[in-house]
Chain A
Amino acid sequence: MKADSNRLLLSGNHAVSHAVKLVNPNVMPVYPITPQTPILELITEFHAAGEMTGEIMTMESEHSAMAAAITASLTGVRVFTATASQGLLLMHEMLHYAAGARAPIVMFNVNRTLGSPWGFWPDQTDSLAQRDTGWIQYYCENGQESHDTTLQAFRVAEQVLLPAMVIHEAFYVSHSMEAVELATQDQVDAYLPDFNPPHRLDPQIGESWGNTVSQVMFQNHRRDMGDAMERVLQVAKKADQEMKELVGRGYGIHEQYRCDGAEFIIATMGSMTGTVRDAVDELRADGLPVGLFKIKLFRPFPIADVREILAGIPKVMVLDRNFAPGTGGILYQELKAALYGLEDAPEIHGYLAGVGGTNITPAAIKEMVQSAMGEKPSAHSVWKG
């Protein structure tokens, strides 16, 4: 690294590790799993070199990693962990538990196919299957975004007291080398306030967490969680805005790419957005009014924004690199639900594209657009690619 530059050639995973190093969380329970492992490896290297000072906990499972993460967080310190695929699923119980405990843990998840059968390929089903756990979810398309979003996630999570999951896909992002502009320590110190939750596990305070509640108490608690999740929309926008002011990079909680005058919008998340950008450029060059709508913040789902942005658009095509047997593409389902009852709602084509990590090229996307333009949409997700 040159002394005057923070620009490094990094894999997506290592871009995340660098963000975590800048945050220097107090506790980091870790457990290896492909393709997440490079994140933890670089963190432990930083730690061994004395560049990070928190507690590294080399757990025996992701379940225990999340268990330790929750209590460390409730003890009032900053916590980070990372996982993928099966590991995320093993955590499932604890994901609910963390959100219920209002523990603002930040976790990075690398999307990978779920067994069985075994595979190692990019597929968002692992994290999308956790959409009801009460975690904030960010989907990133490249290492730079993952680096910056990881920083944002701490800020947002700690403000609303909900855990946040930042996500990118296996290999396409996790292991691809790209130039990444790192935030500086000064920027991060300015961006992240001290974390001092008023309620925590502390003998000086004496409060406890998790005692059995009544039905009404439980309902109220869930309602409070919902309110906090609602607030994320504004808090996340603000966090992004302030980052943009501080480090010059921002992403919004969603992005419209060349949507001015668009009559056909491709909606997607994650690495697919990069491919779609190229396809949109080519389609625009061909004179077709096509734009990209990138969903970055999937939880909470920005329903109001979605309705506003897509109102009056004749056609929307959703590309899902995930699959829920029985209902199809998950983003497709969410968008349809968000738009329900909208007077000038678009027709929605749901395409299962790239499931299991199959390669989707800009040319394939152009073909899908062209065929969708001439068709009435199916009521269900349609397999492509």
Chain B
Amino acid sequence: MTGTVKRVPSIWTTGSTDILNTGTWRTAIAVHEHRPAPCYGVCPVDGDIPVWVQQIRNEKFKEAWQTLVENNPIPAAIGRTCHRPCEGACNRTEYDGAVSINALEQYVGDMAIREGWEFPAPSDELDQKVAVIGGGPAGLSCAYQLRRKGVQVTIFDANPELGGVLRYGVPEFRLPKKMVAAETKRIVDLGIEVVTGRKLTGEDLGELDQGYSAIFIAFGAHEPKRLPQFSKDDSRVLDGITFLRSVRLDAPMELGRKVLVVGGGSVAMDVAGSALRLARQVEILALEGREVMPAPEDEIEDVIEEGAILNDGAMVKAVEDLSGTLLLHCIKVELDQDVPPGVIRPIEIAGTEFTLEADTVILAVGQDPELVDWEGRVQVARGMVEVDNDYRTSRVGIFAAGDVASSERFVATAVGDGKRAANSIVRYLGQKIVVEEGFADEAKEVAIDDINTFYFPTQEPGERDKVAVEIRKFGFDEIRLGLTDAQAFDQSKRCFSCGSCIECDNCSIFCPDMAIIKDSDAPLYYKVLEQYCKGCGCCLEECPRGAMGVKEETK
């Protein structure tokens, strides 16, 4: 056709706005961050808990175990015995109850035993040898960390088997021996020499100096503290750890009909629980009120369920020897708040006197390390081996950790100290420490206000089921059943993953400028496109878990 239009309207739109630089509008840009969670901040072994909980959620169980054992080689044991500062610090605590982190740890630890997962052999073998004195939590942890790095390790332990307090203290109903055996074996199988039944003393130092480049002292604290009100020689007055050891060795000490346990910590509860199972009438006398007793609340609850009577916030003033039984004159006390940390000063409350009668008294008020042989060889202070921040004793090449060197008498703390001491030893040996990916110095711990709780519908915390009290009283079988798969999954889903990106894509989804894209090469999974980011902060606000921050920009 002639006259067909040649000239066309001038303003059809053909380009795309993606050539524009709308990023120039911003004054701040969002950045993905790996920030510490509060559980991490208080974890005795420095575990990045959100990471392995997330791995459970993703059903990457072996990866979860591998993450766990980076810092703690005995998760089945610690998953039963940790004092759980993580759960106290958990951001979920004030929302709808803490995530049952400890139970999840046990879940993974038990699975590893069941599945027979092993540690990989060290990739390097070093010539240097280290002697580890004591095969308890601190010694095992240190030996494991050293061995992974290729160091030659010998563990010396006075007992016939490794495990220390886990094997000879914590009762079966809380931690089955087979778990301890499996986890210690797995460590030893890394190629660790073990010498059991030999109690090393300070006098053996010369011999060790010959054969070893460094020595790690971690034989714990086994000298029970006494109370002046009780006679040292009275056979009716026992000490807790000796009693627990006798139970662990299947030769329990004789007890009278009425047993009084003095103490408010885990050992006291373990003693009470064990005594109850030996068919005795048990009362507990604790200096602290129940809310501030050192024993975790669930342990207190267990023994009370099982029939123990708790007299909390009280102390023994005097002991009267009735023929056969002991009559304890007690009084209610308050604890003086105005004291330095670590000091306990009870104030008697006039007019609250009462008496308790007992056939057997078991004192569980703490232990001290046995250091008679060591004084003069390494510096000792306040009844413990003195160490600096790097676990170095006063003598070059000798390190110490765990109960022997710390007043924080928690098994998990001993594991953490063992790990950190191992790093210190490795440095001493002139080896490089491979620094794990940690947190940026400026990274702020994630607080509950950083969590977008919309993404977390409230969900009841779920703890391990307990065996019915009528059944458990008649034996030493474990009280708590491990989490079922479903329970573990539910708990893992409850974790906010504070500060740890789980690739939920919210930052990308809620960006009105499509300025955040998934990038497998990015260290934290996403790339912020500077050309487009207008700095609105929607990503930050909609990140459920505080895994983003803001970087101010000045132009």
Contacts and interface: CB of A to CB of B under 8 A. Distances in A.
Check A-B contact in the complex, CB < 8 A: yes
Given A193-B1, A193-B4, A161 B9 contact: yes
Residue of B3, B8, B14 with highest tally of chain A CB at under 10 A: B3
A206 B10 CA distance: 16
A199 B4 contact: no
Nearest to A222: B10
A344 interface: no
Interface string A200-221: 0000001111110100010011
Interface string B2-20: 0111011111111000000
B20 to A, nearest CB: 13
B552 to A, nearest CB: 33
A199 B14 CA distance: 10
A293 B271 CA distance: 123
B14 A207 contact: yes
Interface string B341-372: 00000000000000000000000000000000
A209 B13 contact: yes
Interface in A222-245: 224, 227-228, 235, 238
Contacts of B4: 159, 193
Contacts of A160: 5
Contacts, number: 44
A197 B5 CA distance: 8
Contacts of A238: 3
Contact of B11 (A197, A206, A221, A235): A221
B14 to A, nearest CB: 5
Nearest to B1: A193
Nearest to A228: B7
B11 A217 contact: yes
A220 B9 CA distance: 10
Contact of A199 (B1, B3, B12): B12
Contacts of B5: 158-161, 197
A199 B3 CA distance: 17
Interface in B279-316: none
A198 interface: yes
A235 B2 CA distance: 10
A208 B4 CA distance: 22
Residue of B1, B5, B14 with highest tally of chain A CB at under 10 A: B5
A102 interface: yes
Contacts of B9: 101-102, 161, 199, 221, 224
A224 B7 CA distance: 9
B478 to A, nearest CB: 66
A110 B162 CA distance: 107
Contacts of B10: 217, 220-221, 224
Contact of A207 (B1, B3, B7, B13): B13
B376 to A, nearest CB: 88
B11 A213 contact: yes
A224 B10 CA distance: 7
Interface string A259-276: 000000000000000000
Interface string B49-70: 0000000000000000000000
A273 to B, nearest CB: 28
Nearest to B14: A207
A227 B3 CA distance: 15
A104 to B, nearest CB: 9
Interface string A278-299: 0000000000000000000000
Contacts of A209: 11-13
Given A161-B8, A198-B8, A199-B8, A208 B3 contact: no
Interface in B253-284: none
A264 B1 CA distance: 42
Contacts of A206: 14
A207 B9 CA distance: 12
B139 to A, nearest CB: 71
Contact of B12 (A208, A220, A227, A235): A208
Contacts of B3: 159, 235, 238
A229 to B, nearest CB: 12
A370 to B, nearest CB: 45
A228 B1 CA distance: 18
Nearest to B9: A102
A19 B14 CA distance: 37
B11 A207 contact: no
Nearest to A208: B13
A208 B13 CA distance: 5
Residue of B7, B12, B14 with highest tally of chain A CB at under 10 A: B12
Contacts of A197: 5, 8
A193 B5 CA distance: 12
Contacts of B13: 207-211
A208 B11 CA distance: 9
A221 B9 CA distance: 7
B127 to A, nearest CB: 70
Nearest to A211: B13
Nearest to B2: A238
A16 to B, nearest CB: 24
A113 B72 CA distance: 94
Nearest to A162: B9
B11 to A, nearest CB: 5
A160 B12 CA distance: 16
Interface string A92-127: 000000000110000000000000000000000000
A234 B104 CA distance: 87
Nearest to A192: B1
Given A217-B10, A221-B9, 9 more contacts: A159-B5, A161-B5, A193-B1, A199-B9, A207-B14, A208-B12, A209-B12, A224-B9, A224-B10
Top 4 A-B residue pairs of the complex, sorted by shortest distance between their CB atoms: A208-B13, A102-B9, A207-B12, A193-B1
7 contacts: A102-B9, A159-B4, A161-B9, A199-B9, A207-B13, A209-B13, A220-B10
